[in-house]
Amino acid sequence: MGHYVRSRWEANTCRLLKIFNIPYEYEAEQFKLNYNNATLIYIPDIKLLNDLFIEVKGWETEKARIKRKLMAEQYPEIKIIYQQDGAWLRRKGREIMENALQRFEKIDLVYGHNDPMAMGAYLAAKNAGRSQEMYFIGIDGLPGLEGGAQAVLNGELSATFLYPTGGAEAIQTALKILQGEKVPKNITLQTATIDSSNAKKYI
| Structure confidence at residue 51 as a pLDDT band (50, 70, 90) | low
Whole-prediction pTM: 0.72
Domain around 188: 10-30+164-194
Residues 141, 102 within the same domain: yes
Q: How far apart are CA 68 and CA 72, in angstroms?
A: 12
| 144 falls within a domain | yes
Does residue 62 sit in the same domain as residue 132? yes
**What are the φ and ψ backbone dihedral angles of 126, each rounded to 5 degrees?**
-65, -45
More confident residue, 164 or 66: 164
Q: Is residue 37 part of a domain?
A: no
- Does the residue 15 lie in any domain? yes
Q: What sign has the CA pseudo-torsion 125, 110, 143, 116?
A: negative
Q: What is the largest CA-CA distance in the chain?
A: 62
- Count: domains in the chain: 2
Lowest mean per-residue pLDDT among 10-19, 68-77, 136-145: 10-19
- Residue at 3 is within a domain: no
203 in any annotated domain: no
Same domain, 122 and 77: yes
15 and 74 in a single domain? The answer is: no
- Whether 179 is in a domain gets the answer yes
Residues 6+ apart with CB under 8 A from 14: 5, 24, 26
Sign of the dihedral through C-alpha 101, 114, 66, 111 = negative
Q: Are residues 73 and 173 in the same domain?
A: no
Q: Are residues 55 and 139 in the same domain?
A: yes
Neighbours of 73 (CB within 10 A): 8
Give the residue-averaged pLDDT of 92-115: 93
Do residues 56 and 112 share a domain? yes
> Would you say residue 2 lies in a domain?
no
Please provide the average confidence, as pLDDT, over all residues in the chain. 75
Average pLDDT over residues 77-103: 90
Average pLDDT over every residue of 28-47: 50
Query: Is residue 72 assigned to a domain?
Result: yes
**Is pLDDT at 118 greater than 80 in this prediction?**
yes
